[in-house]
Structure 1
């Protein structure tokens, strides 16, 4: 960790030359009582802040290495984001089957910076708290790192956020690595677009409708195939009757609700209770 954090100190010195300052966070979160874990990327360049799953980088590297490959992946955490530096105006990107959507929102954080501090290696971190998205959050930031940014929509503190978690410990971020890239990193293939699919701008209400429509009949395409005499395979099981397909529909609806734990509770999709 010492080497990682020492590297961070050099970043802002060279910022004017168009590099990307990259910070890797480990994200731990809970879904249906299960512990989930993945790495997330926070890229900061001269103009923009971007946040996305690390596995997009892995896939992008493979495609570039072997040339002409168009391997794809999807987000695991559903926290794809772009905003202008030192701004609270966010654009978040969401996939739904083969569609891609973008939502715009203003998310100014009202932080309460406390006097409480702690040491992390050679860094003095300071504690701050805020209410956001229907959750109570605690952040530990370093005034020594002059980026007023952090994971996902969390920004506005006088220093880079190193650690962040909500009161119920359902979401937790920890800075684990930093990299200084010599050029502004291009994310257009997997963030601004989803491998060539341009995002459709929608309101929160419109996005909820898209998700609720899918929830109401997640096997609609399979239903068409079955009615035309075809055979449908779901999770290794051949479906040959409408009754079997109805059972799968109910199961998929249960799974959608069971594994839904939005980071922003106040923007949660209003799935039906029953």
Structure 2
């Protein structure tokens, strides 16, 4: 844990909570048999809790410096907003040219154990829960009195420092905290996706969108090819429908290989190979 985390308690009780308390987590996700690491952001202010890819912050910073609209898409598919002290989540999903939001209630039943360990000067306590079709272990500290954590995980009597599922498909570790002297606006990339307002959908409706795309991921390219347009995929020029059909099969395979939903009980029901 970085030294900036060590002074957090002092800052917590000597600053006015008109700020954003920002916690940076390292997230490891297993995709196609390999672990991919990225940083994620947990922002807490007096009204809302937000969780999103750190890449959005990087692009937001560049946009503010250059006056240009630099954009990013989520790599984690873990974009969350909830009201403070609430289990009512809004999860946002970008999909090609569309942006969707799904509402859900995600209260968790934690079993708090007696096992503890140290992280720098903090004492962490173990807790477990079942959520999303996975078994989870969390390590939290009552010394930082936010009942929050990564993604939808909350409800423990302290901030979650570490979190992982039983198969280690998802591993979160708190690596840094920052105090922002104002409520940090995420309006450009979270509440909207660079001007694209989210479309409210049910889980079933969202599944249909994803399954329709999976059924024909080269549909637009096929139409372009038929009308005499140029189709280039990964630097390769496609000139026949047979070539495009091969790319279609490859894309369908890649979609399934790199799909590892955090909530398995809400997984998109892609057809078996």
* TM > 0.5 fold call: yes
- SS in structure 1 at match of 2:7: helix
Instruction: Check if 1:191 corresponds to 2:217.
Output: no
**1:59 corresponds to which residue?**
59
For residues 36-185 of structure 1, the aligned pairs below 5 Å read: 36-67=36-67, 69-185=68-184
Q: Is the 8 A contact 1:136 1:166 kept in 2?
A: yes
Q: Is the 8 A contact 2:2 2:176 kept in 1?
A: no
Q: Is the 8 A contact 1:20 1:183 kept in 2?
A: yes
* TM superposition shift of 1:152: 0.2
Q: In 2, distance between residues paired with 1:17 and 1:167?
A: 36
**1:28 corresponds to which residue?**
28
Distance 1:2 1:230, change over 3 A: closer
Q: In 2, distance between residues paired with 1:88 and 1:96?
A: 25
- SS in structure 2 at match of 1:61: helix
Distance 1:3 1:97, change over 3 A: same
Q: In 2, distance between residues paired with 1:208 and 1:4?
A: 42
For residues 210-229 of structure 1, the aligned pairs below 5 Å read: 210-229=209-228
Distance 1:198 1:249, change over 3 A: same
Report the aligned-residue RMSD.
1.0
- SS in structure 2 at match of 1:206: helix
Number of corresponding residues: 273
* TM superposition shift of 1:135: 0.4
- SS in structure 2 at match of 1:77: coil
* TM superposition shift of 1:2: 5.4
Q: In 2, distance between residues paired with 1:147 and 1:7?
A: 16
Q: Return 5+ residue gaps in structure 2 as ranges.
A: none
Q: In 1, distance between residues paired with 2:139 and 2:205?
A: 35
Q: In 2, distance between residues paired with 1:145 and 1:226?
A: 58
Question: Normalized against structure 2, the TM-score is what?
Answer: 0.98
Over residues 218-242 of structure 1, what are the superposed CA-to-partner deviations in whole Å (9 max), with x where a residue is unaligned? 0011011000011200011100101
* TM superposition shift of 1:13: 2.1
Q: In 2, distance between residues paired with 1:222 and 1:21?
A: 45
Question: Normalized against structure 1, the TM-score is what?
Answer: 0.98
